[in-house]
Chains A and B, each alone.
Chain A
Amino acid sequence: MSTPSSKNDYMLLFRGNTWDKDLSQEQVQKVVADWAAWFERLTVEGRAIGGHPLENHGKIVSGKKGRTVADGPFAESKEAIGGYFYLQVADLQEAIEIAKQCPGLDYGVTVEVRPVAEMCTVRQRAIENATRTRELAAAGA
């Protein structure tokens, strides 16, 4: 899933996993089937190169040395991430157009569209700082 250049990589993060709450069994089945077909189509087109639903349980790790470990739950939330797609497309606009096709949107799912960074911006800044420090030292010598 890590390609040599991430320039055209986008992640779709699907938020909200209570969208099925007020739907009939039949309606839920239809959405789930549509969703699978949508992913299938994108994969065949070569526009989706990965994607998974996520289990509703898990952990949240925080604090120094990750000393705080809390259990989910991640259910019952409009913000909870229920799954993701990993896309390779021309630009952000195309990623947005794909996001708009999500079958869950009609029932309250929201889709976060995030460009994958080529290089961590923090690391980039660290590298720039290191370069500048070296240049200054060289100039001073």
Chain B
Amino acid sequence: MSTSSGKGEYLLLVRGADWHKGLSPEQLQNVMSQFRDWLDRLTEQGKIKGAQPLEREGRVVSGRHGRIVADGPFAESKEAIGGYFLLQVKDLDEATAIAQSCPTLEYGSSIEVRPVAELCPLMVSMAKAGEQVELAAAIA
């Protein structure tokens, strides 16, 4: 479902967009330069396919035909997504280790590590259900 196969890809979602509140300008600069070094190093190793922060404003679309468009989500929330990294690495353990080394974790953000699916999980379970139906028919 994309321009890349998805194999070996992991999406890291950084949650908690307000981790930097309460830091002095000096501390902030420190973290940002640590972060920049960390990201540059991973990029040089060819592990970063994409990495960007997301703007604080956004919209949430819902309802039939998306008729409800609300402002949100709200950045104060610990769950709000502040940015993402798309990694190309060996396995979930490596992706998790990279997440653990992110300098912003010190100050309260959390990182969700998700393997990118090559096939939509629903299609996989539908295919499995289809196989079972065929098998049952063959046995009958």
A residues near B (Cβ < 8 Å) are 1-2, 6, 9, 11, 13, 20, 25, 28-29, 32, 35-36, 39, 43, 49-67, 69, 74, 79, 81, 83-84, 86, 92, 96, 99-102, 105-106, 109-117, 119-123, 125-126, 129-130, 133
Contact = CB atoms under 8 A, between A and B. Distances in A.
A9 B25 contact: no
A25 B34 CA distance: 50
Given A55-B121, A60-B110, A9 B52 contact: yes
B46 interface: no
B126 A28 contact: yes
Contacts, number: 201
Contacts of B117: 52-55, 83
Given A50-B3, A53-B120, A65-B100, A58 B115 contact: yes
B64 A106 contact: yes
Given A96-B61, A114-B81, A129 B25 contact: yes
A61 B105 contact: yes
9 A-B pairs with the lowest CB-CB distances in the bound complex, closest first: A66-B100, A100-B66, A1-B50, A62-B110, A120-B53, A115-B55, A129-B25, A55-B115, A110-B62
B81 A13 contact: yes
A55 B117 CA distance: 5
B28 to A, nearest CB: 5
Contact of A60 (B52, B56, B57, B111): B111
B49 interface: yes
> Chain B contact residues: over half helix, strand or loop, or mixed?
mixed
B2 A60 contact: no
A52 B84 CA distance: 14
A120 B83 contact: yes
A61 B61 contact: no
Contacts of B62: 105, 109-111
Interface in B9-30: 9, 11, 13, 20, 25, 28-29
Interface in B99-135: 99-102, 105-106, 109-117, 119-123, 126, 129
A130 B121 contact: no
B66 A102 contact: yes
B23 to A, nearest CB: 9
Given A59-B112, A60-B112, A116-B54, 13 more contacts: A29-B126, A39-B1, A59-B96, A61-B113, A66-B111, A74-B112, A83-B117, A84-B11, A102-B61, A105-B64, A106-B65, A114-B58, A122-B32
Given A32-B122, A52-B1, A126-B32, A117 B54 contact: yes
